[in-house]
Chain A
Amino acid sequence: EAQVTQNPRYLITVTGKKLTVTCSQNMNHEYMSWYRQDPGLGLRQIYYSMNVEVTDKGDVPEGYKVSRKEKRNFPLILESPSPNQTSLYFCASSFLGVGSYEQYFGPGTRLTVT
């Protein structure tokens, strides 16, 4: 089944404790991205990647890191989480090229930083 998986689905952590949220897709998509969703603000893109070893900042990259060492995986790293990073995070992927850029979303990771 074609899908985007994220882990963990829920995470409660404390300020400053490094964490990684994993994202994996099995559709051989070139494009992957991370979003955070906050009430009233919609989806804001954190980072995106157009291929292996190619990453770019989105609208809200501060406090986050990403890497794209393999085509299928795009982990999101919070080196020193702070309470303002409490949010719902989505990973998404799509093909890149002529045609549709339909984004396939993972189920989301709800992060709470205390």
Chain B
Amino acid sequence: NAGVMQNPRHLVRRRGQEARLRCSPMKGHSHVYWYRQLPEEGLKFMVYLQKENIIDESGMPKERFSAEFPKEGPSILRIQQVVRGDSAAYFCASSTTGWGNTEAFFGQGTRLTVV
């Protein structure tokens, strides 16, 4: 049973470009969470999705950021017109039911560098 798969592991983008981060949850998991981690800091919640639905996006910036989890395929975190401050590690986690009722597993993360 493969774990949470994130790709790419490393992504370099120039300012103004778009970044697309992908997350394939563990088999049987229908709940996906995205977190952002700045260097030397803890993780910050961004968004929680279930298949085809955004449940909680209170941690996501209102502009340039969007997330989806389609019926088929991985969850995508999209950052438009990236700026240097978007440089961070982005982690995805998945679980079978809502967090707190079952353990959630994190992926290895995507490290985004904006140059």
Answer whether A and B are interacting partners.
Answer: no
Q: Which residues of B contact A (CB under 8 A)?
A: none
